[in-house]
Amino acid sequence: MSGAPRISLLLDLPEGLDKLRAKAAGEGFRFMEKLAAEWLSGANRFAGPGEVLLGAFQATELVAVGGLNRDPYADQAGIGRLRHLYVKKSARRSGLGTTLVLQLLGHAEGTFHSVRLKTDTSEAADFYVSLGFWPVQDRTATHVRWFQRS
């Protein structure tokens, strides 16, 4: 990759999402299909308090996406959920995924007291642990990160 990637707030599904969805599906990740389907149906537009959908662009190419919602699986307020985080294979290990997650967590602070997620790969699990998430035994989440209260 050449040049610094630009991370932007997404207010609509960006051009290039179909290519990124195809790359994710080729790796066996189907959550990008869910992102598009829920957006198109209106079921999830990342529009609630503290919610956001971010995209990372290399020049004009969408190379990563990630969202933050109120956790729909939690039965209490104040819990966010990282969702649909995908970084194109050629953009991994460049710091882009870290930057994207840290920006999502920045949006979460002040609205959520914790953020949960679910992953099914050991590589992603190690990545999230490196960013301060803790493994949890829960049927709806594999990792959680708490925010310090002042």
In which band, very low, low, confident or very high, does the pLDDT at 75 lie, cut at 50, 70 and 90?
Answer: confident
Q: Is 129 within the bounds of a domain?
A: yes
Q: Is 6 in a helix, a strand, or coil?
A: strand
Q: What is d(CA 109, CA 127) in angstroms, rounded to the nearest whole number?
A: 20
pLDDT exceeds 90 at position 150: no
Query: What is the per-residue pLDDT across 95-146, written as a single tens digit (0 to 9) for each?
Result: 899 999 999 999 999 899 999 999 999 999 999 999 999 999 899 999 999 9
In this prediction, residue 148 carries a pLDDT of 77
Q: Is 117 within the bounds of a domain?
A: yes
In this prediction, residue 149 carries a pLDDT of 63
Q: Give the H/E segment covering residue 66.
A: strand 61-70
> Two tokens at 33?
């299909």
Q: Write the CB contacts of 37 (distance below 8 Å, at least 6 apart in sequence).
A: 43
- Give residue 118's region: left, alpha or beta (phi > 0; psi -120 to 50): beta
Q: Is 1 within the bounds of a domain?
A: no
Q: Is 138 within the bounds of a domain?
A: yes
In this prediction, residue 2 carries a pLDDT of 55
Specify the number of domains making up the chain: 1
pTM confidence score: 0.92
Q: Is 55 within the bounds of a domain?
A: yes
Q: What is the CATH number of the domain that holds 82?
A: 3.40.630.30
Q: Where are the alpha helices (DSSP H) in 31-150?
A: 31-41, 96-108, 122-130
Q: Which domain holds residue 32?
A: 6-146
Phi and psi of 32, rounded to 5°? -70, -30
> In one letter, which amino acid is 94?
S
Mean per-residue pLDDT of the chain: 93
Query: What is the per-residue pLDDT across 93-105, written as a single tens digit (0 to 9) for each?
Result: 888 999 999 999 9
